[in-house]
Structure 1
């Protein structure tokens, strides 16, 4: 009984904590986007980003979702998408492509600072995530378009109602608050699901099953456990461990680069896709396709990194001085 109570309290605490993080991110972004839409600023941004979004088969206005995701985080990107729903007709394929790209490339200023502290070039790590993300968006759009899959209009059945531009600010505030309140219960369900996976040791099993794939990327056996921590739990967890290992000289420089590269494009393997799926992304793109594409990309990148001469590697990808400075 005591274990059940403790587990329930932990689930409640984690749910409230994650919901609070989402609120702090989403509410300011939703307000700013609402203002930008009323002033017509979104249209101007759409013109700038239209060529890039068009390559992925996405409406120009969704460029704001990608831009905010790149600079802030996935929650901010979702907030923008929800605010755009009244003026943009999106299909399930559109949302899957868009949010899958955001899953790979998001929060670059913050998250890639972790890689930089470990000695990995900020330009390389950020550029890698952007290029892999957009490349995946291109491929995923071609697949969905060729097969005519997921072309039905997006319907988020759990939304109480979607805010519209015709609403007054008071009405918009009420509908947005209702949306966020409903979101809490989605978050609670996800936390419970993840807890069940943890208790059933399924996350451990997933880590064990996936670890052989790291060999394809050139990541050594010594770096495998830490890499899987980052892939399953997030870049902050795995990146922090790698910074410590790098400072203590327990990981080779190429392991540091390859491990953090894979974490960058494919972290939060379970939790993050589940959140995106709650907002309409299909599992085929947000979970399965993303993982397969990232593994394939890293297999190629790993081979190229291992072939690089030492001087070129230290000049463009890894700065030993950065890791040394972080240790002081």
Structure 2
């Protein structure tokens, strides 16, 4: 290999490593405190209190009051923990496919709020806006799906739980190890993403992707400069793509309006591959957890884009 080429590749590798570490460090400063807060809330028994408050709202979406604990769990923790909680109720609470689809769709919209809300705040979106979009959006989507399935009389057969995860042992050591594994996985994903983005830029694919997405983004009120952040969040999710989303928001290439609209879209419709496949194991139907969720996300963003944002989005720092 020619010496000049070797030096160029080495310089590119160093630049990539430095950029990846910078993105990762930005994300760590947001995620680690949020993860500690989540654990503190769990130890303080906040989940049970939140479940009690949420129980009456289950009637709005056609679910038993007991499902309030599942929704409370997913809001404060993550999908895996909530699925384990749901599995413990599945034998006593026989739900239909329609009900499981409603519950799963709400879980997809409103999970991991302390962590993902902190990431959204780091991009410049205020907490109250995140909670309104994701909690309110989950309730509205759940109510609409319940009306649709009940009115049409579809998906009324009993749901079949296709996977029952082992319940977590609850020890602090296991929790700490799980978080370290998560953070390690996120670093690997960030490095892979940064490498992929550089490769796509060099091959001209990034420009093509922007051109293809521009009409769709323009239709819902988002400028083409937000294409990278949108694709990353929709495919990988807010936690995995969080560092890159924060960098994009702080780069100056996106306006406050872009950031708010992108984060709204991602809050309602992120991680459409992994998360969708995960809740599919509960016995949910794709009509709600994928197609209706994406259509709902696009509709909400389109409607919001027609209104002045005012104080909904804070300046990106």
Instruction: Say which of 92, 101, 106 aligns to 1:87.
Output: 92
Contact 1:231 1:263 (8 Å CA) reproduced:
yes
In the TM superposition, residue 239 of structure 1 has moved relative to its aligned partner by: 3.2
Aligned to 2:297: 294
In the TM superposition, residue 207 of structure 1 has moved relative to its aligned partner by: 9.4
- For 2:285 and 2:103, the matched residues in 1 are separated by 11
- For 2:151 and 2:50, the matched residues in 1 are separated by 29
Instruction: Say which of 269, 272, 285 aligns to 2:288.
Output: 285
Query: Between Structure 1 and Structure 2, how many residues are aligned?
Result: 236
Instruction: Say which of 56, 60, 74 aligns to 1:55.
Output: 60
User: CA deviation digits over 1:38-93, x for unaligned, max 9?
Assistant: xxx97x97764332000000000001110111111111211111011122111111
Instruction: Say which of 279, 296, 306 aligns to 1:303.
Output: 306
| Alignment partner of 1:156 is 2:161 | yes
Aligned to 1:138: 143
Aligned to 1:239: 242
| Alignment partner of 1:129 is 2:121 | no
Aligned to 2:116: 111
Aligned to 2:222: 219
Task: Decide whether aligned partners of structure 1 residues 247 and 209 sit closer, same or farther in structure 2, where only a CA change above 3 A counts.
Answer: closer
CA RMSD of aligned residues (A): 3.0
User: CA deviation digits over 1:177-225, x for unaligned, max 9?
Assistant: xxxxxxxxxxxxxxxxxxxxxxxxxxx9999876633222211011122
- For 1:62 and 1:138, the matched residues in 2 are separated by 14
Task: Decide whether aligned partners of structure 1 residues 157 and 64 sit closer, same or farther in structure 2, where only a CA change above 3 A counts.
Answer: closer
Q: Say which SS state the counterpart of residue 107 (structure 2) adopts.
A: helix
Question: Structure 2 regions of 5+ residues with no counterpart?
Answer: 1-34, 168-205
User: CA deviation digits over 1:79-119, x for unaligned, max 9?
Assistant: 11101112211111111100111101111111010111111
Question: Structure 1 regions of 5+ residues with no counterpart?
Answer: 1-24, 164-203
Instruction: Say which of 67, 74, 77 aligns to 1:69.
Output: 74
Task: Decide whether aligned partners of structure 1 residues 157 and 253 sit closer, same or farther in structure 2, where only a CA change above 3 A counts.
Answer: closer
Aligned to 1:10: none
In the TM superposition, residue 294 of structure 1 has moved relative to its aligned partner by: 1.1
Contact 2:74 2:112 (8 Å CA) reproduced:
yes
Task: Decide whether aligned partners of structure 1 residues 254 and 101 sit closer, same or farther in structure 2, where only a CA change above 3 A counts.
Answer: same
| TM-score, with structure 2 as normaliser | 0.67
Task: Decide whether aligned partners of structure 1 residues 47 and 239 sit closer, same or farther in structure 2, where only a CA change above 3 A counts.
Answer: closer
- For 1:70 and 1:208, the matched residues in 2 are separated by 36
- For 2:286 and 2:209, the matched residues in 1 are separated by 17
- For 1:232 and 1:249, the matched residues in 2 are separated by 23
| TM-score, with structure 1 as normaliser | 0.65
Matches for 1:172-211 after TM superposition, within 5 Å: none
Matches for 1:34-45 after TM superposition, within 5 Å: none
In the TM superposition, residue 149 of structure 1 has moved relative to its aligned partner by: 0.8
